[in-house]
Amino acid sequence: MKRRRLTKKQRKRLHESCNGKCAYCGCNLRYEDMQIDHIKPLSNGGMDVIGNMLPACRSCNHRKGSESLESYRHSVENFLKILNRDSVTYRNAVRYGLIIPNPQPVVFYFESIRKENKHG
């Protein structure tokens, strides 16, 4: 499927829609470094329309890949379990109190700013 090419104005609007931050992790995102992610991946029946697009950093966009939003959320929520399972360095850092695991439900940045806009 051929993807639509966004105009500069559309790309700027998407970048600004999340205050110049990645829609997922909330890191500062330079316009030049922004990637466009389809919330519902095209490979899973998502539409190639602005309403299905978010600005993303390279790391989040590549990690999410063709996962659904909820599948990606679940993957992020499992990071601590995976680190604990696979990394002796991580487990040692926890034992020495250098890292304090803080498991919690993941709320993506774009979701948190949408909540703020509804309530404030």
List domains and CATH numbers for the chain. Answer: 8-119 (1.10.30)
Question: pTM (2 decimals)?
Answer: 0.89
Is residue 43 scored above 80 in pLDDT? yes
Q: Does residue 103 contact residue 80 with C-beta atoms inside 8 Å?
A: yes
Q: Does residue 24 contact residue 109 with C-beta atoms inside 8 Å?
A: yes
Distances (CA, A) of 29 to 10, 17, 21, 83: 16, 12, 5, 26
Cβ-proximal residues to 39 (8 Å cutoff; 6+ apart), any chain: 46, 52, 53, 54, 69
Encode pLDDT of 83-97 as tens digits.
999 999 999 999 999
Q: Does residue 61 contact residue 35 with C-beta atoms inside 8 Å?
A: yes
Tokens of 88: 């002796």
